[in-house]
Amino acid sequence: MAKIKKKGTSGQAKNYITRTQAVRKLQISLPDFRRLCIFKGIYPREPRNKKKAAKNSTPNTTFYYTKDIQYLLHEPLLRKFRDQKALAKKIARSLGRGEVGDAARLEKNLAPKLTLDHIIKERYPTFIDALRDLDDCLSLLFLFASLPSTTSVPPKTIARCQRLCHEFQHYMITTHSLRKSFLSIKGIYYQATIQGQDILWLVPYRFVQQVNGDVDYRIMATFVEFYTTLLGFVNYRLYTSIGLVYPPRFDSASDERGAELAAFKLESKNVGHLKALEQPTANGTTPSEVSKEIQQKVDDVVKSAGLDEIQDTTVAEDQTTNEYAIDKFEPAAPEADTLPQPDGSENETGNLFSSFTFFISREAPKAPLEFLLRSFGCKRIAWDAVAGEGAFTNDETDPRITHQIVDRPPLPESSLPAVPEAHADSVRIRTGGRIPGRTYVQPQWVWDCINEGKLLRPDLYAPGATLPPHLSPWVKTTRGAYDPRASLADQEEEGEAERAEEEEEEDESEDEQVGDDSKMANGAEEDEVSEADDDHGMDVDDSEQDESDEGEEDEEDEFGGFDDAAEAASESEDEDEALRSQHQKELEAEAAGLPFSGSTKSSSTKKSSSKTKKYEAERRKEEEELERQKMMMSRKKRKLLDKMLYSNKKKEEEAQKLRSKRRKLENAAKTKA
């Protein structure tokens, strides 16, 4: 006879452990257990059957893998946590005795320091793994870099987050690794490509943040502590990979005056080697001068041999026939799919603004614009002295400035105050005047140029102009979907605009008809009241006529006939009823003394109804053909086709709604113009 298994020794009861059991097993407090799980990347799990996993009838809510908790037993941080707990008891005992000096000495000298270096190496065995997990890290650190200092968020943490974020931004500027950016309601999204890995993070806008008590900042501070260590490792590896010294030199005084990115100065590792080369040798000449003399002799030999001419011809041939030019994919047919075009090289995109000098106005966001412009090759960026240090120039009238980023509409000269001639130029610039020969654009121009990978027309982004739609660069337009950048005529179906106009005319005619009916009804009621007061004649009995009409109607309902005959009869009945109703309305309008204009409307409605009938007939034929094709399919394929058609129909309806809204806006703009 086989052994009877004990309950709770196998299956889910063995694979899962509750949080209370885990805390008791590790012999630490619950906050320390949370910190340890965050550092090690251990998260709660959801078992299939909570009752079996909990070993009792009352299921718990939080479970962990037993192997994960067993793995935590050998963690070196457990000893640090226990040392902290023992030190806290000693400090509390000293404070209870009134020995404040001893308590301060214990906290200063015996406080254990937590190092997370070994955890970073365990969780990210390769550098690519660290880059893949950098999205949440950057988003959280940029968030804490913009928070105000409170009791829950100390200023040291904010300063450290700001410094790490600026160091990472300097690497992006140096290597031109930034690819795309997008302005959203949440903040500004950035995407960079580092060693083949796409990294996307979110930076909040620089508004005044209000720290609420609803958020548990202890847990967020634990994540910040881990992510600062991670980003420090990543920055060190990135800087050393391109030959820069890490950490870069930081000028705290300049940072306090608002320099931000300009407070950091990057240095190359070969600076010492270059300085050694500049030192004179025993002969009194420097190695660089010797190398120049040797190079001059080599150039003379090349010229005498005529090799430079051959080299020039080869360079010219390479320029004419560039084998490494980027191909462009063109569709073979007008109905073919549009293939995504390859991106330009890093040199082309990284030097997008290299030939320009920008001036950022005071109302424009300086920090994101400076980062974007420097990342794409701009070397000279100016702003007002109020915005901080680090500008190329603080003079707005500098003739070297080619572009100015303005986020306010231009004011008419009549609204400007009268000023003396000596200060006319400065006051005119302050109040929104324009300097001739300079291009004025709104901030969205920078983002759209970066996402498109080319310089767009600046007149579309002039101050006060209606900006084109700012679309997400990560959302690709599909066939049949609404595209705000394309014209409305290119997206509409055949006859869609005409049908929309017909529907609008029908709605207007119905509204007018409802108004006329209400007026006629009021007039008819008044006539009936007057007739009731004046009529003293005999009443006519129309019961026989009503019975005969009812009999005729019953005979018409009983007769079925063939399909074509039924359709013709129904059409004739509709026409007769329309004529009768129109004649009745004419009589009522004549009795009420009101004009009747139903004849002109009826002709227009007939024309519109004919077009809509044609469209509905074609649509009905397509549906019938589709139903015939469905009959030949299996049940599984038919259900799959129904789901596809349903989803496509929903997308078409959404796109049609957006097109109708745009059509109304364009028509309203035309009428105003």
Tokens of 644: 């596809």
Q: Which of 458, 476, 494 is the last residue of a domain?
A: 476
Tokens describing residue 657: 């709604």
* Across 151-165, 279-293, 612-626, least confident range: 279-293
Residue 323's pLDDT is what?
43
**Could you tell me if residue 364 is inside a domain?**
yes
Helices and strands, counts by H and E, the chain: 26, 11
Digit-coded pLDDT (tens) for 516-561: 566 555 655 555 545 555 444 444 444 444 444 544 444 444 444 4
CA distance 207 to 554: 76
Query: What is the model's pLDDT at position 556?
Result: 47
Work out the pLDDT band at 507, boundaries 50, 70, 90: low
DSSP notation for 438-500: -EEE-THHHHHHHHHTSPPPGGGG-TTSPPPP---TT----TTS--TTS-HHHHSPTTHHHHH
C-alpha to C-alpha distance for 218 and 35, rounded to whole angstroms: 9
Q: Are 429 and 411 in contact (CB under 8 A)?
A: no
Report the C-alpha gap between 162 and 409 in whole angstroms: 33
Same structural domain for residues 139 and 78? Answer: no
Residue range 423-436, pLDDT digits in tens: 555 555 555 568 88
Q: What is the DSSP letter of 267?
A: -
d(CA 472, CA 182): 6
For residue 312, the model assigns a pLDDT of: 44
Q: Return all residues near 90 (Cβ < 8 A) that are at least 6 apart.
A: 106, 110
**Residue of 280 and 167 predicted with greater confidence:** 167
Q: Calculate Rg over the CA atoms of the chain.
A: 40
Q: What is the mean pLDDT of residues 17-37?
A: 92
**Higher-pLDDT residue of 572, 496:** 496
For residues 227 and 134, state if they share a domain.
yes
- Beta strands at 63-65 and 178-183: parallel, antiparallel or unpaired: unpaired
- Domain membership flag for residue 391: yes
Sort 81 into a burial class: Cβ within 10 Å, 0-12 / 13-18 / 19+.
Answer: buried
| Residues 246 and 240: beta-carbon distance below 8 Å | yes
CA distance 540 to 46: 85
The Cα 653–Cα 659 span in angstroms is 10
In sequence order, the β-bridge partners of residue 183 are: 188
Q: Let me know if residue 487 belongs to a domain.
A: no
Which residues, 6+ apart, have CB-to-CB distance to 228 below 8 Å? 141, 160, 161, 164
Is the per-residue pLDDT at 308 higher than 90?
A: no
* DSSP 3-state of 359: strand
CA–CA distance, 397 with 483 (Å, rounded to integer): 41
Q: Are 264 and 249 in contact (CB under 8 A)?
A: yes
Same domain, 26 and 143: no
Mean predicted confidence (pLDDT) in 404-413 = 82
pLDDT the model gives residue 544 = 47
Tell me which of 492-496, 607-611, 633-637 is least confident. 607-611
- Each residue's pLDDT tens digit, 107-166: 888 888 889 999 999 999 999 999 999 999 999 999 999 999 888 899 999 999 999 999
% of the chain at pLDDT higher than 70: 68
Model pLDDT, residue 111: 85
Least confident of 42-56, 466-480, 553-567: 553-567
Identity of the residue numbered 135: D
53 plus 143 within the same structural domain: no
Q: How far, in Å, CA of 154 to CA of 644, rounded?
A: 54
Q: Kindly report the backbone phi and psi dihedral angles of residue 439, in degrees, each rounded to the nearest multiple of 5, phi listed first.
A: -95, 125
pLDDT, position 584:
77
> Taking Cα atoms as reference points, which of 351, 405, 403, 343 lies closest to residue 376?
351
Q: What is the pLDDT of residues 48-80, one digit of tens each?
A: 888 788 777 666 688 999 999 999 998 999 999
Does the residue 280 lie in any domain? no
pLDDT of residue 558: 47
Both 217 and 83 in a single domain?
no
CA distances from 124 to 55, 115, 128, 232 (A): 36, 16, 8, 14
Q: How confident is the model at residue 577 (pLDDT cuts 50, 70, 90)?
A: confident
DSSP 337: P
Residue 30 confidence (pLDDT) above 70: yes
Flag whether 244 is in a domain: yes
> Omega into 334 within 30° of 0, i.e. cis?
no
The pTM for the full model equals 0.70
Copy the structure tokens of residue 346: 């890093």
Say if residues 447 and 183 touch (Cβ distance below 8 Å): yes
CA distances from 442 to 382, 410, 466, 484, 558 (A): 16, 12, 10, 20, 74
The Cα–Cα gap between 508 and 37 comes to: 66
Mean pLDDT (the chain, rounded): 78
Q: Is residue 4 part of a domain?
A: no
pLDDT tens figures, 325-351: 455 666 665 555 555 555 555 566 788
Least confident interval from 189-203, 412-426, 620-634: 412-426
For residue 642, the enclosing domain spans: 637-673
- 265, 300, 332: which is the final residue of a domain? 265
Query: In terms of DSSP bridges, do strands 380-383 and 357-360 run parallel, antiparallel, or are they unpaired?
Result: parallel
Separation between Cα atoms, residue 660 and residue 500, nearest integer Å: 8
What sign does the CA torsion over 340, 345, 350, 353 have? negative
Strand segments, DSSP code E, in 74-228 are: 178-183, 188-194, 197-203
Quote the pLDDT of residue 350. Answer: 80
Identity at 358, one-letter amino acid code: F
- Report the alpha-carbon distance of residue 345 to residue 229 in Å, rounded: 33
Number of domains making up the chain:
4
Residues 147 and 82 in one domain: no
Q: Which of 61, 91, 109 is the last residue of a domain?
A: 109
- Tell me the Ramachandran region of residue 59: left when phi exceeds 0, alpha when psi lies from -120 to 50, beta otherwise: beta
pLDDT, greater one: 567 or 142: 142
Q: Are residues 250 and 381 in the same domain?
A: no
Tokens 């549906």 -> residue:
623
Asked whether residue 433 falls in the same domain as residue 394, the answer is yes
Question: Do 98 and 122 share a domain, yes or no?
Answer: no
447 within 8 A of 181, measured Cβ to Cβ = yes
Co-location of 123 and 80 in the same domain = no
Least confident of 229-243, 593-607, 619-633: 593-607
Q: 216 and 78 in one domain?
A: no
Write down the pLDDT at residue 432.
Answer: 58
Q: What is the pLDDT of residue 7?
A: 73
Measured distance CA(222)–CA(216) in Å, rounded: 11
Residue 146 lies in a domain: yes
Whether 341 is covered by a domain: the verdict is no
Give the CATH number, domain containing residue 386: 3.40.50.10190
Residue 568: pLDDT over 60: no
Give residue 505's pLDDT.
66
Contact criterion met (CB below 8 Å) for 663 and 500? yes
| Residue 182 near residue 447 (C-beta atoms within 8 A) | yes
Token pair, residue 578, equals: 């329309």
Co-location of 32 and 147 in the same domain: no
Structure confidence at residue 224 (pLDDT): 95
192 bridge partner residues: 178, 199
